[in-house]
Structures are given as C-alpha cells and as structure tokens.
Amino acid sequence: MAAPGSATTDTGGRKISSTRIIAAASIGNALEWYDISAYAVFAVYISKAFFTNSDPAVSLMLALGTFAVSFLIRPIGALAIGGYADRKGRKPALTLSLGLMMVGTLLICVMPTYAAIGVAAPIGILLARLIQGFAAGGEYGSATALMVEHMPHRRGFAASWQFTSQSMSTLLSGLIGTALTNTLTPEQLDSWGFRVPFIFGLLVGPVGLYIRRHMPESAEAERVIASGERATPVTTLFAQQKLLVLLAIGIMAVTTCVNYMITYIPTFSVQQLKLPASSSFVCLIVSAVLLIAVTPVVGHLSDRYGQLNIMIPASILLLVLIFPMFALMVGLPTLGVLLVVVGLLSLLKGAYFGPMAAVLAMLFPTGTRATGQAVGYNIGVAIFGGFTPLVATWLIKTTSLSVAPSFWVIVAGVVSLTSLIVIRKRLGMR
C-alpha cells in the first residue's frame, strides 16, 4: 500500500502532497467526531450538569435526546453548505464548516450548569449541538469530494481517511476519558472534569483552519464552476437524483448504527452490565485502534478488488452476528467478553467502513457530489446514528431486555444490504 505522502497535482501542474490533501479534508471530520464521541462518553456527567430530573434515567434520556435532536439539522446544513461547495468550491465550504464547529464547541466549554442558570442551560447545550450539527452537515460531502477528486485513481484509499480520522478521534476521546476517570474524583468530573475533552477539541480548531486556508481547490470542481451551469445542485439533486439519495441513506444505515452503538457502550456497560466506567473506555480505545489499522488497508484493497465486493459480505456478517454478540455480553458481563465483542464489531465495521466513502462519492456526478453525499450521509446519520443511543436506551426500558439494542442494528443491516444489492444490479458498481 502506497504511503499517503505520494503527490497529486493542482490546476497549475504543481505537485501537491497527498498527505496535505488528506489532512486538510479530514481534520474537520475528525473534530466533529471527537465532539460526538466526547458527548456520548460523558453523557452521564452532562446529564447531571445541564439537565435536571428526579429520575437519573430520565435526565440521561434528556441528554441523549438533545444529542439526537441536533442531528435533525444536519440535512439542512448538508443542503446549505454542500450546495455552497458545489457552487463555489470545496475549499470555502470546508473553512466555513470548521469555523461553525468551533463556535458550537466553545459554547459547550463555557455554558453554566442548570444549578447556575436554570432552564437556559439545556437550551444553551441544544443550541451548541444545533450549530455543530449544521456545520457537520456540509462537512462530510465537501471533504470527501475534495479527496476523491484530487486522488481519482486511489479514491477508495483516499476517502477511507474520512473514517480513519473518525476512529482517531474516538481513540483520543477514549484516552482522555480513561485518564479523567482514573485521576479525577466523581465530584470533580461532575463539576468541571467533563468539560476538559471539549476544551482540548477547541484548541485543535485553529490548526484546522490554517491548513484549510492553504490547501488547493479541486481541479474537477473548478471546471464545473467555470462552466457556468445555472441549475443549482439542490434543484438537480431532487429533480433527477432522488434514487441516488435514497441509496446513499441506505448505505449509511448499518455502519452508522454500529459506530454509534460502539460509542454508546460506555453508558451500556455501566448501566446494564454494571462494569466500572474505566473498563468501558478501554473498549473504546481497542475499537479505535482496530479501526485505525483496518480502515485504510481495506480502502486500499477496495481500489483493487471493488468496493461492493468487500462491503456486502461485511454487512451480512454484521446482520447475522449482532444478536449473539449482545447476548454474550449480557450473559458474561466481563471486561474480556466486552473487549471481544467490541473488537469483532470494529473489524467488521472497518471492512464496511473502508470502501464506503468512495461508493458514496461515485454515486453522484461532480456537479452535485458534495450536496448529494452530504444529504444522503446526514439523513442516514440522523436516522441510524444520532438516535441510536436514544433508541437503544428506549428499547431496553420498553422490553426490559438488555439485548434489545441489537434489534435496531438488525433493522439497519437489512436496509444497508438491500441498498448495496440495488447499487450492484442497477448501477453496475462493484
């Protein structure tokens, strides 16, 4: 597998490091997922600080509900920022989205608690998550389009770094979570410790802005913009490419659901398996390490053997194995079993994850690529991602079965497998 440091060229024929392209395109996605992972990991502490209820389970539901509702604005951000990227270029859209993410993260860092300002606290947290959700809505499509257009012959490998960066963010939040829970008292975590991960994330933002302001625009996007095409990307998308959007949503279902299920495991392991919080963070670290190792390798292999030829078997295995894995965790609630389950989930997810970004990108033509990916990706994430911790908690409460979260993953698996089969048969992709 060639190193990311190989070169591509810009419109002036100058050599540009592929590492530079990947870093510029991935850093916003990494910050987004770092904040998502940090919020999920510290949901119990956030619920105590900003949401109040006599029943701790209800407070947690409110915190997770805010987490979920913020994903509903992502499709709006996808249309706004994704459309901007297709009309004006990938570079300005990516700079805008990262700036907005920093604003949302800053609000979480400085927001007073419910005890200090009452109902304004949860409203402020919701506003922060809405800003982050809007920004993230246009981030994925613009960033993936940039990488695929700069590295068309290695699009599987290039685009896989979108998801590798997500895993790096999960690893970082897991390490910080482990450090904080092992060094701070419960009282310190409740009062200020939960803010530390967000402060760290905020510090990364300026570096990302600098990198993005000095990256080259995609030559392919520049040609489309220069052509003077009058039809807006949004109009074209919904008039002519509705099936492609539906297929993109379907592709996202199972991998997004599994990803958010992994980030939900800290809450699940503490509340359902009665394991210490530090044990659950170890699982997140193991998951992230495996995904970092597997995702770019599978992305590289998909350029040689075909993206769908890898994704379809991975989706079948996830669909078949998810219930037995949850049953094993519940039946043998030990750290060792938790590590085995999370490790297997991560390997299967990496096999599906690695090729997926390239498939999403190539579903759409250049003129609607950022918008189409962004809309499909963010609707899929809103349905099967942002609501996964909430649905998992609700399923357990409703059914009284600790294995109930697996039911939601099975639904997502059926949706994704169906979409992949349609893409292969109707669009001829492999």
What pLDDT is stored for residue 54 in this prediction?
A: 63
Mean pLDDT computed over 279-308: 88
The answer to whether the beta carbons of residues 71 and 381 sit under 8 Å apart is yes
Residue 109 pLDDT > 70, yes or no? yes
pTM: 0.77
- Cα–Cα distance measured from residue 258 to residue 264, given in angstroms and rounded to the nearest whole number: 10
> Of residues 25 and 270, which shows the higher confidence score?
25
The answer to whether the beta carbons of residues 170 and 261 sit under 8 Å apart is no
State which fold the 15-427 domain adopts: Growth Hormone; Chain: A; (1.20.1250)
Residue 334 pLDDT > 60, yes or no? yes
Dihedral sign (CA 153, 154, 156, 161): negative
Residue 344 pLDDT > 90, yes or no? yes
Smallest CA-to-CA distance from 354 within 283, 274, 291, 418 is with 291
The answer to whether the beta carbons of residues 233 and 83 sit under 8 Å apart is yes
User: Helical H runs in 184-276?
Assistant: 186-191, 196-213, 219-226, 233-240, 242-271
Q: Round to the nearest angstrom and report the end-to-end CA distance of the chain.
A: 20
Smallest CA-to-CA distance from 4 within 20, 24, 28 is with 20
The answer to whether the beta carbons of residues 347 and 290 sit under 8 Å apart is yes
Mean pLDDT computed over 336-342: 87
Residue 417 pLDDT > 90, yes or no? yes
User: How much of the chain, in percent, has pLDDT values that exceed 70?
Assistant: 92
Smallest CA-to-CA distance from 133 within 207, 42, 33 is with 33
For residue 17, give the 3-state DSSP assignment: strand
What pLDDT is stored for residue 4 in this prediction?
A: 52
Mean pLDDT of the residues in the chain: 84
Smallest CA-to-CA distance from 415 within 393, 383, 387, 386 is with 383
pLDDT in tens, 382-410: 788 767 878 888 898 899 898 898 999 99
Among 97-101, 194-198, 222-226, where is mean pLDDT lowest?
Answer: 222-226
